[in-house]
Chains A and B, each alone.
Chain A
Amino acid sequence: MGAQLRVYKRRIKSVTATKKITKAMEMIAASRVVKAQRKVAASTPYATELTRAVTAVGTGSNTKHPLTTEPETSTRAAVLLLTSDRGLAGAFNANAIKAAEQLTARLEAAGKEVDVYVVGRRGVGHYNFRERKVAKQWTGFTDQPEYADAKAVAGPLIEAIETETAEGGVDELHIVYTEFVSMMTQTAVDGRLLPLSLEEVAEESTAKDEILPLFDFEPSAEDVLDALLPRYVESRIYNALLQSAASKHAATRRAMKSATDNAGDLINNLSRLANAARQAEITQEISEIVGGTAALSDATAGSDK
């Protein structure tokens, strides 16, 4: 076998092995998307009921709460960025980080100090590499977030917002995550979580022109709101974590699918080249034999004379 041909054969073998791996990763990601979507669906009843309850208290009473009142001047803001622990997901993490950077720039342009909270090793790595300050970071659960993880993330954030701004607290809480639109589309979105504008929440939940009844609060509207709002924030963060996980798996699936397709194309090209090399080798051998016999017969013909 010629040297050229051997090189092609070796490359085909290695690309085939890579293709097998990416194909397997694609299939794993596809099954995880479905699982993650199911989790999003399972958490929806709780989120809807909670939103309804928050709207009911918000519209049914004139209670003021630090988590719902807009401060006159807000000087410090927190940004929660949700990324994943692992890469191999195309532009998934890059997009989320970019959205967070844009939001940070926007807030800073408005004269606010920004504290960044990061979930996921990829985002943490991005900030650490640039030696930028991260207020708090969480890693290790982005593939399959549990409600307890959302609670762990929400805790310090709620605490920060309840602290006075002068003592290192924040006035606003923004969240950047990747919304799962469909298997093919995931978009990095940013939204303000706190202070909660009850009107917006009300709009979301009462799309059907539903008139909320006058509730009887037990023990009191303030206490209910006190207990309700942190849960609401937790459930929103939980939802964002789940959507982010589903998006990550979908992005991985897509990235791995195109890697598999590319490997297939590469194998095709390489086998054509290998065939051409083999053919060239055979042609050369034939012409060598023909040349050899011709020379030999010429020599014998010469000796005959």
Chain B
Amino acid sequence: MKILVAVKRVIDYNVQIRVKEDGSGIVTENVKMSTNPPDDNAIEEAVKIKEAGKATEVIAITVGEEKSQETVRKALAVGADRGIHVKADGIIEPLAVSKILQKIVEKEKPDLVFMGKQAIDDDCNQTGQMLSALLDWPQATFASKINVEEGKLKVTREIDEGLETIEINTPAIVTCDLRLNEPRYASLPNIMKAKKKPIEQLIASDLGVDINPRVQQIKVEEPPQRKAGIKVASVAELVQKLKNEAKVI
């Protein structure tokens, strides 16, 4: 069984996001980039399944600019066997990514495709679902537990009401939640070994996929700053202010 895992390079979750002065986007210069956190969980799960003897190969794939390769390299350092980098510059929307993934799935014929439930930069939460539609494969989103069985998966999903366990047939798409596992650290010897693992480089346009954005981004702005709170002397004053100033009661 082959598992394809999609990873995305995003601004590190610890970095404070800054909007460009002209509102044309966010500042990515001089900013630390990392793998999208739930994508780390996706890789970890795939590697665990392989270690349990239930998969034979884990392939990490990313779509993005030249430096996105770093995320694939990191996946290789924690146990993926080989990598694919589909080079594409600029904003690549979820539909374009899922179409690229569709092409790669047709070529690589994996049994499972894993990825994070959503990327922390655009928060779209669409790629997995769109890929599922394009391939007409079953999907399990927000997975916090995955059991691999013969020809099917038992997946526990994080849903609003609690946990839901579903069974789907493979091949399938699974998008992973942060609760799925604790990603391992890349050890120094494994980082060195990862440098020697192959990364196949492809160019998005060569795959015959139209990656032009379909959404026009008009303006990016910071959320308005919260005003400082005030202290009130008495309950009566609080009620009075809520009534007359805030007008909420």
- A and B found bound together: no
Q: Could you tell me which B residues sit within 8 Å of A by CB distance? A: none
Q: Could you tell me which A residues sit within 8 Å of B by CB distance? A: none
